[in-house]
Amino acid sequence: MRLDRFLCETTDLTRSLAKKALHREEVLVDGELVKNPATQVDQHSRVTWNGEPLALVGLRYVMLHKPEGVECSARRGLYPLVRELVDLPHVERLQTVGRLDVDTTGLVLLTDDGQWSHRVTSPKRRCGKVYEVTLAESLDGAARNDAVARFAEGLLLDGEEKPTRPAQLAMRSPCVAELTLFEGKYHQVKRMFAAIGHHVVALHREAIGPLSLGDLAPGAWRELTEEEVALF
């Protein structure tokens, strides 16, 4: 790739600042001063900027156990961002794969690979997301059977034109449900329970397709293995 692009990929420099750094003779390639932004370099080139070695960062895939009070958005608002919990270079390039509400806990995936992210979230891939849902009031007996049937059929949520895709509901105890969704509408779990007259008091995502949190503690993260990345 061109040297100016390499500088943009490995630093916070914009293309025009990278050219200025080259013009100011701040960049060495394999020990030689290089000023031409079109010079070709690759991952084997030893590039330094002001004496600092620069290395290309490949695509990254991370799983994180989101605690409460942390936000899955790209910009800092009231709450810290999930990616601020991840200690990797150029963490600002990582995007969450879908979102959890600020008060929802559990499995979040982050990546800078947009195509992979699309594969995980695309409803066509039928990648089930498993939630543990704690309800304010018990849901059992005939009401439970009715809820299981309505979730399996699909519900029309307020403000939506199409019903939800078939979802799987099972009760772990009268107030604790396991819900598997194959899509990700805004506040979907809370809105589905609201549609059947139930209030969600706690929500935790346990798994996305074949990936689950395992023993990852709240706030902890790890990079996915190559095998895990290849699952999607």
Binding site for ligand URA (CB under 6 A): 100-101, 104, 187-190, 203
**Which is nearest to 120 in space by CA: 110, 132, 135?**
110
Pick the closest to residue 187 from 111, 98, 112, 75 (CA basis): 98
Nearer residue to ligand URA within complex by CB, 184 or 216: 184
Q: How far is the CB of 13 from ligand URA (least distance, A)?
A: 36
Please give the single-letter amino acid code of residue 7. Answer: L
- To ligand URA, the closest distance from the beta carbon of 176 in angstroms equals 16
Is residue 115 within 8 Å of residue 59, measured between CB atoms?
no
Nearer to ligand URA, 21 or 100 (CB): 100
Catalytic (active site) residue 101: yes
Residue in 4, 12, 30, 101 annotated catalytic: 101
Nearest to ligand URA of 35, 190 (CB atom) = 190
CB 169 within 8 A of CB 189: no
CB of 148 to ligand URA, least distance (A): 18
C-alpha span between 208 and 224 (Å, rounded) = 13
Closer to ligand URA by CB, 132 or 223: give it: 132
Other C-beta atoms lying within 10 Å of the C-beta of residue 180:
16
Query: In angstroms, rounded to a whole number, what is the distance separating the alpha carbons of residues 222 and 178?
Result: 25
CB of 43 to ligand URA, least distance (A): 38
Please give the positions annotated as active site.
101
